[in-house]
A = this chain, B = another copy of it.
Amino acid sequence: MSERIWTAALVVIGDEILSGRTQDRNVAQIAAWLNVQGIRLAEVRIVGDVEGAIVEAVNALRARNDYLFTTGGIGPTHDDITVDAIAKALGVGVEVHPAARAMLERYYAKRGGLTEARLRMARVPAGAELIENRLSGAPGIRIGSIFVMAGVPHITAGMLDALTGTLEGGRPVLSATIGCWVAESEVADLLGAVERAHAGDDGAVQIGSYPFFRDGRVGANFVVRSPDAAKLGACMADLAARLEGEGRAVTDGGI
Residues on A lying within 8 angstroms of B by beta carbon are 12, 15-25, 27-32, 35, 40-49, 53, 75-79, 108, 111-112, 115-118, 120-121, 135-136, 152, 154, 173, 175, 183-186, 188-189, 191-192, 195, 206-213, 223, 225
Contacts and interface: CB of A to CB of B under 8 A. Distances in A.
A117 B75 contact: no
A209 B115 CA distance: 17
A78 B188 contact: yes
Contacts of A40: 18
Contact of A79 (B41, B49, B173, B208): B208
> Among A16, A53, A152, which residue has the most Cβ atoms of chain B within 10 A?
A16
A46 B135 CA distance: 29
Contacts of A213: 135-136, 152, 154
Contact of A191 (B21, B77, B191): B77
A53 B43 CA distance: 9
B21 A223 contact: yes
A37 to B, nearest CB: 12
A210 B117 contact: no
A208 B45 contact: no
A209 B151 CA distance: 12
Contact of A45 (B23, B44, B135, B225): B44
> Among A25, A28, A30, A223, which residue has the most Cβ atoms of chain B within 10 A?
A28
A188 B40 CA distance: 37
Contacts of A195: 78
Nearest to A57: B43
> Among A111, A136, A173, A211, which residue has the most Cβ atoms of chain B within 10 A?
A211
Given A115-B186, A188-B76, A29 B18 contact: no
Given A32-B20, A120-B188, A225-B19, A43 B42 contact: no
B42 A173 contact: no
Contacts of A173: 19
A44 B18 contact: yes
